[in-house]
Amino acid sequence: MKTALINKSDIDQCIDLLSQADYRVIAPRLQPRLDGPDGVDIHVFQEVKPGDVHSIGEGLSTTGIKEFLFAKHEPLFAYEKSGKKVNITPVSHDFPRTVIMGVRPCDAASSISLNAVFSDSNVGYDDTLFTKRLEQTSFVTYSCTDPDASCFCTSVGLGPDSDKGSDLHMTEIGDGRIHLEVKTEKGAALAEILGSLLQGEGDQSARDQAGAEAQKKISRIRNANPIRAWLDDTTNFEDEMWQRLGEKCLGCGACTFECPTCHCFDMVDEDRGGKGYRVKFWDSCQFDHFTLHASGHNPRDWQFKRYRNRFSCKFKIYEEKFEAQGCVGCGRCIRGCPVNLDITEYMAEVAHKAAIPAAMQTDPSYE
């Protein structure tokens, strides 16, 4: 079976069946971000149990699925100092069999990018804390039907109905029906569990139409094609645009923590009286101390250098070093920025700079 139909009203039963099959089920839920009259509700991915209210297919999640593969904070080992010796004790990690439901296409695509960083396929080292979780995780993706003004997935080669990174892909096709596609062996295993809810063959024509209609709603469209070549030109490393970016960016790191493909981390010893844990936790290349050397030298000592690195990571370094996509166009960095710094504005500016001769760029009369 490659496709099937399923009623949207049966999503709750999907959670029931998967839970009964001993899967940990993760799904978006609407949760208050702040308490009190000024509080707002946001969609966040959390573990759900049968009967829990979820928001699969509704809105866009503020947080992605990254934390379920790449933990925000976790111990690597325990230690205890004894005289001049340090005793190391391994710590156990759980890798539960997990299904993440309602994953938007941009987030599913980001799992491939993260795997390129943390697996030995490109960098020669396998971070098993990530790869074992990925191995145990299945993604049930859900096509976007209502992308918002910050979404720009089509500018980076994806779309609101993309199935990249998906194991089982769902698309609403109207009248309360969902077109379901089996994409991988993991997806086939899930479809077998959900078999009692599936009805005949899917409706590919309706699925394609739903995808096309969602794509028309994306208004933020940029030409990303010239960016890599412009960044490869080392003369642009000192372009005046970076200084303007640096003046606006606060360096708060919100964009990196909400980005589904950002993967910077640090390791420290959390010591309590001579014993403790060495822990790994999310870090941000936008923090001023991120590249601070022990000598006191900091190669990215100004914010514009740090943002230049982030932009380059998205459109050059990821592709060059990991052979993967650095930006999936989810728009979270735009929504989450406290000073409205919009990466797509600079994508457009780079495309513009790449399109005009260098001599004209320095001509003040040229517009």
Q: Rounded to a whole number, what is the largest CA-CA distance in the chain?
A: 72
- CA count, 13 A, side-chain hemisphere, 328: 26
Residue among 210, 194, 195, 181 nearest 3 (CA): 181
The yes-or-no verdict on residue 18 having pLDDT over 90 is yes
**Of the candidate ranges 159-163, 245-249, 298-302, the one whose mean pLDDT is the lowest:** 245-249
Place of tokens 């208050």: 32
Amino acid identity for residue 258 in this structure: E
Residue among 65, 66, 97 nearest 186 (CA): 97
**More reliable by pLDDT, 273 or 39:** 273
The yes-or-no verdict on residue 258 having pLDDT over 60 is yes
Residue 40: the pLDDT is 81
pTM: 0.92
Q: Which two tokens stand for residue 24?
A: 């940990």
* Sheet containing strand 85-90, strands side by side: 85-90, 73-82, 275-282, 265-272
Percent of the chain at pLDDT above 90? 89
Percent of the chain at pLDDT above 70? 96
Q: pLDDT for 80-103, tens place per residue?
A: 999 999 999 999 999 999 999 999
Residue 357: the pLDDT is 65
Residues 6+ apart with CB under 8 A from 93: 74, 129, 132
Kind of pairing between the strands at 24-32 and 98-103: parallel
Residue 1: the pLDDT is 60
Place of tokens 């409205």: 340
- Strand, coil or helix: what is 178? strand
Residue among 313, 264, 144 nearest 215 (CA): 144
Question: What percent of the chain is helix, strand and coil (3-state, nearest 5)?
Answer: 40, 20, 40
- The pLDDT confidence band at residue 269, using thresholds 50, 70 and 90, is very high
- Please give the Cα distance from 362 to 358 (Å, whole number): 7
The yes-or-no verdict on residue 324 having pLDDT over 90 is yes
- The pLDDT confidence band at residue 362, using thresholds 50, 70 and 90, is low
Q: pLDDT for 63-78, tens place per residue?
A: 899 999 999 999 999 9
Would you state the torsion angle of the CA atoms of residues 133, 135, 140, 145, taken in this order, to the nearest 10 degrees?
70
Q: pLDDT for 287-322, tens place per residue?
A: 999 999 999 999 999 999 999 999 999 999 999 999
Residue 355: the pLDDT is 86
Q: pLDDT for 98-108, tens place per residue?
A: 999 999 999 99
The yes-or-no verdict on residue 171 having pLDDT over 90 is yes
